[in-house]
Amino acid sequence: MLVKILIFVSVIFLIYIFFFKNKRKVEIQKHKEEKKTLEGDTMVECAQCATFITDKDAIIKDGQFFCSKECARLL
């Protein structure tokens, strides 16, 4: 009788691990993808005031990065 209970508990435990381990892998994969998208911005330095901004927000003039139109006009 004790052996049957142990086998039953073992089978339930293995089923639990099988289903939730796969779910955990999917969650980890999604987290890694989200992290990659968050880390996608590159910081560049303004040539005029030395402020760091993202490359997406930067203004490029004569091959240099600027944080604003005012800084771009000063050079």
Cα(45)–Cα(58) distance, integer angstroms: 9
Whether residue 45 sits in one domain with residue 22: no
The reply to whether the predicted model has a pTM over 0.75 is no
Q: Is it the case that residue 8 has pLDDT exceeding 70?
A: yes
Whether residue 26 sits in one domain with residue 55: no
Answer yes or no: are the C-beta atoms of 72 and 60 closer than 8 Å: no
**Mean of all residue pLDDT scores within the chain:** 82
Domain carrying residue 29: 1-40
pLDDT in tens, 16-47: 877 776 666 777 777 777 766 556 678 899 99
- Could you give the number of structural domains in the chain? 2
